Amino acid sequence: MTTKVKVISLIIVVCLFAVSCKHSDEHKYHTVTDKIEANSIVYKGETSSDIYNETIKKVEVKDGEFEFLIPERKSQIASYNCTECHSQPLEKLKEHKVGEKAAHWNIKLNHAGPETMNCTTCHGKNDFDNLQSLTNSEIDFNYSYKLCSQCHQDQFKDWKGGAHGKQLGGWAPPRVSNTCVNCHNPHSPQFEKRWPVRFNTTVEKERE
Ligand code: HEC
Ligand code: HEC
Ligand code: HEC
Ligand code: HEC
């Protein structure tokens, strides 16, 4: 063998070794999923999605096997605490000067129907700082999903499981999900029907 051939075969051996080493590293994982899971424990130096949800004030949901976080609501409700005004009976509050606008005039109930629902279905007959269930149990404003789940069990179960609604700040734990009232106005919960967005190809062609 000439020296040239020797050198070339040595290079080939080294290359093969390098390739096989890389290959054996791949075999640390049985499947692609294993590899993704191993690499996602620490992602870009982070071990959780906390940094993406830092600015949101959260409360904990615990329901059977489900444990996750939802945005806190009370600090977001303009007229909370309600008892700032609702410390006297409604009849007293309703005594207005002529021409004065009623409080909450902008809230129009468009949910179920008047046979099923009015303000007192959800708001305290006595305690205005809490919501109330159909059997008059207190429900904290931060946990208003409990109110909705009385009548919308299917959506509630889907929501708990993560199928209805939206997860915030990615899929890494801890899970933070929007709560019902982040998307639905409780007083008028349905969304307006609208046409799908359509790209106008006709106009585009005319311009060519
Ligand atoms: C700035 C004062 C004020 C605050 C704060 C306030 N309310 Fe009221 N609310 C009133 C007054 C006044 C009335 C009586 C309605 C009217 O003006 O004729 C009223 C009436 C109501 C009614 C009865 C409406 C009806 O038509 O029978 C409900 C329900 C209600 N308030 C819920 C709430 C809830 C829930 C909160 C807190 C999230 C709240 N209010 C905070 C002043 C207030
Ligand atoms: C289906 C249950 C339900 C009914 C019926 C209902 N509310 Fe509410 N209301 C809620 C929930 C839940 C919230 C808190 C929403 C949130 O977290 O932003 C709320 C919030 C409010 C607030 C505070 C809103 C703000 O932005 O300051 C007022 C005032 C209020 N309701 C008055 C009324 C009045 C008056 C009626 C009747 C016309 C009524 N509600 C009927 C569930 C209900
Ligand atoms: C007392 C029972 C009751 C409670 C409590 C209640 N709902 Fe409803 N809701 C109904 C009924 C009845 C309808 C009308 C029937 C239907 O469309 O499913 C309705 C309609 C809706 C719709 C529209 C459905 C559609 O097909 O367009 C949404 C969204 C909704 N509710 C969300 C909520 C949310 C969010 C809450 C909690 C803040 C809530 N509901 C609390 C009974 C209730
Ligand atoms: C991230 C936003 C979001 C959250 C959170 C959310 N919803 Fe919805 N919800 C929607 C959208 C979008 C629709 C579909 C509206 C449509 O098709 O017109 C919907 C539809 C509904 C409907 C109508 C029936 C249906 O399934 O299409 C009900 C009832 C409802 N939601 C109740 C709830 C309740 C109760 C909760 C909380 C447990 C909740 N939603 C949480 C966005 C949300």
**What is the domain range of residue 69?**
48-84+106-184
pLDDT, one tens digit per residue, over 29-72 is 889 999 888 877 777 777 777 888 889 999 999 999 999 999 99
pLDDT tens digits for range 4-24 = 777 677 677 655 555 554 555
Residue 70 located in a structural domain? yes
Ligand 1 atom with the shortest distance to the CA of 120:
29
Among candidate residues 186, 109, 187, 110, the one with its CA nearest the CA of residue 144: 186
Best of 117, 119, 148 for a ligand 2 pocket test (most atoms within 8 Å of beta carbon): 119
Same-domain check for residues 125 and 176: yes
Is residue 71 in some structural domain? yes
Q: What is the CA(127)–ligand 1 centre distance, in A?
A: 12
CA of 57 to the centre of ligand 4 (A): 22
Same domain, 56 and 31: no
35 and 110 part of one domain: no
Tell whether 13 and 76 lie within a shared domain: no
Distance CA 110, CA 63 (A): 29
Asked if residue 78 and residue 13 are part of one domain, the reply reads: no
How buried is 46 (Cβ within 10 angstroms: 0-12 exposed, 13-18 middle, 19+ buried)?
A: exposed
Residue 92 inside a domain? The answer is: no
Shortest-distance Cα residue to atom 29 of ligand 4? 152
DSSP sequence for 29-40 = -SSHHHHHHHHH
Number of domain units in the chain: 2
- Tens of pLDDT, residues 74-123: 999 999 999 999 998 888 998 887 888 889 999 999 999 999 999 999 99
Residues 18 and 79 in one domain: no
Q: Scanning the structure block, which residue is given the tokens 């009370």?
A: 74
In whole angstroms, what separates CA 6 from the centre of its chain? 65
